[in-house]
Each structure stands twice: as structure tokens, then as C-alpha cells.
Amino acid sequence: MLSDLRASGRVERGLMTWKDDLPPVRGKLLVDEPLAPFTWFRVGGPADALFIPADTADLEQFLQRLPPEVPRTVLGVGSNVIVRDGGVEGVVIRLAGRAFGEVLVDREAEGSKVVADAGALDAAVARAAARAGIAGLEFYAGIPGTIGGAITMNAGCYGSETKDVLQAAWGVDRVGRQMAFARDDLGFSYRRNALPEGEMIWLGAVFQGVEDDPEVIEASMAEITARREASQPIREKTGGSTFRNPPGQSAWKLIDEAGWRGKPIGGAMFSPQHANFMINTGSATAADLEALGEAVRADVAAKTGVVLEWEIKRIGRSK
């Protein structure tokens, strides 16, 4: 019961308004927990409940016991998401810590493989592969986020995508049942897979690379990092690319040509450095960011006939 969890110190902050009999956990279960500190934009309201499981078994048991009507939302490191100012209904699940962040090189398997937990940072996977002399995963050095997010959105940059290196992935569904997929089962396309949104909570993946000289791989990663630092506002409060590139076109060019580079709404602005990166200049709300994005979409559509599609995920309730 929730009262028992509060007494144990594992549940904090306020009272649940929709349920007071959440399942017991071994990890952390935080009630009315602000989510802004967990996102790169540093905006947004609280989760009704934030669950940080201790391990896979803790996650499975919680999902199996959670009433089916309670919404579930997965939040990685918050690099590609706007949490709306009214917060997120139901339980937000965050896979964090060593239990969900390991990266291993499988030397016994045929070929050059990297096995990564879903909570591992993309850049950490690139570095581990490079140290092991496994090429092909360097592009992950240029992607902010975790492997779970990379599987969900077929993350990629500089001509490479997750589908190019992924061999298999596994996770649990919304009620805690384990499932495994080969790459071709996932139906990858540009910035998405074919599974219903929110269907899977990813736990890990296997990636196939090719053997190469670690120094050559490190040099390639250094080039990617340098390109990213030169062209993107990575030290700002940002969420990465705001819109997907329309077929045969670049979203940043359309935004730039429409006159939105460096133009603010409230505390939100499209970066002067990269016209497809929104930034929180310091005082933005989630509403500012979303209003800016929608204003740009409307203006670009009116001027060019191209309707930009959000790449940043927007979750939660408007205030």
C-alpha cells in the first residue's frame, strides 16, 4: 500500500489523486514529482508518480500489479521531449543507474557485437565499441539520448541510423511481459519503428559492427563530435532536432528561409546556430516551446506548402 511505501521512505511528495494503492517496489516511487530537472529543456510539470525501478524484475512486477487503466510513460534522459506544464498523468517510468546502463562487448559470439542496456547513453555505446575496435557505431557519438530512445525512433545522424547496426532488441510490454524482436520485426523507417506508440519499454539491444583499428574509429568519432559542436547548440537547454526532415528537404533550411532563426516566443527561440534546434533561453515554459514550434509549422506551411512533422515528443497535460 502507498502508506507503507511512504513510511519506508521510498515514496515522497504529496498525495495521489487517482490511486493510493500503488504496488510495492524496491526502487524509488515518487509522487507528484517535478519532471523539469529530468529533461534537457528544463521545463514541464510533475508526474503523478515517477517510478525508477531497482532492476528488471522490479519493473516487471510493478507493471504486472499496476491497474491497467493507469497510463504509463517512459522517460529516458529527457533529451528529445517536451513535458507540458500540466505534468504527466499516471506513472512515468525512468530506467536509470547501473541496472539499466551497462554496455558489454560480446567476444564469444560470431562477429563483432555490442550488447547495451536500454538506459545506456548512445555516446557511451559508441565509446565502448571504439575501445573494443568495433566500427559502425560511431554515429551514436553525435546523438543525445539512450539506446531505448534510439530503438523507438530509429535514431541516426550523418548518414547512419539505428536500423543499420541493430541485430535484436528486447523489452517488456505495458503489462510486464518480456518480448524479443529481430531487427526486421521492427519495421524501421525514418525516425520511427512500426510498433504502436508506447507498446514497449525497451530493456536492451544487440548491435553488429565490424572490426577496425581503434585509433581509426576514435578519429571518426572525434570528427562527428567536432561537427556537432560546430553546428549545434549543445550547451544550451535544447531538445535536439525539433522537426523531422521532409522527404528530399532539410527542416532547418525551411525554418531559416521562413525567417525564424533566432526569433523568440516568450523564453523559447530557434537557435541562431542551428535553425531546427529550439532552445530555452532561461525563462521558457513548455507552452512557450510548443507555441513556437506550432507557429513555425504554420508559417512554413503557408509559405511553402510543406507541413513539418514534430521529431521532439510532447507529452503530458497543458496547464
Residues known to be catalytic: 191, 241, 311
What is each CA distance from 257 to 231, 243, 254, in whole angstroms? 17, 15, 5
Distance CA 30, CA 22 (A): 11
Q: Compute, in degrees rounded to 10, the torsion defined by CA atoms 150, 138, 37, 283.
A: -100
Distance CA 125, CA 133 (A): 12
- At which residue does the C-alpha cell 529516458 appear? 76
- Grid coordinates representing 97 are 543507474
DSSP state of 130: H
- Grid coordinates representing 285 are 515554459
- Smallest Cα–Cα separation from 100: which of 68, 77, 127? 77
Distance CA 196, CA 230 (A): 36
Residue 160's Cα: distance from chain center in Å? 18
DSSP state of 300: H
Strand partners, 182: 168
Please name the residues in contact with 96: beta carbons below 8 A apart, sequence gap of 6 or more: 52, 119
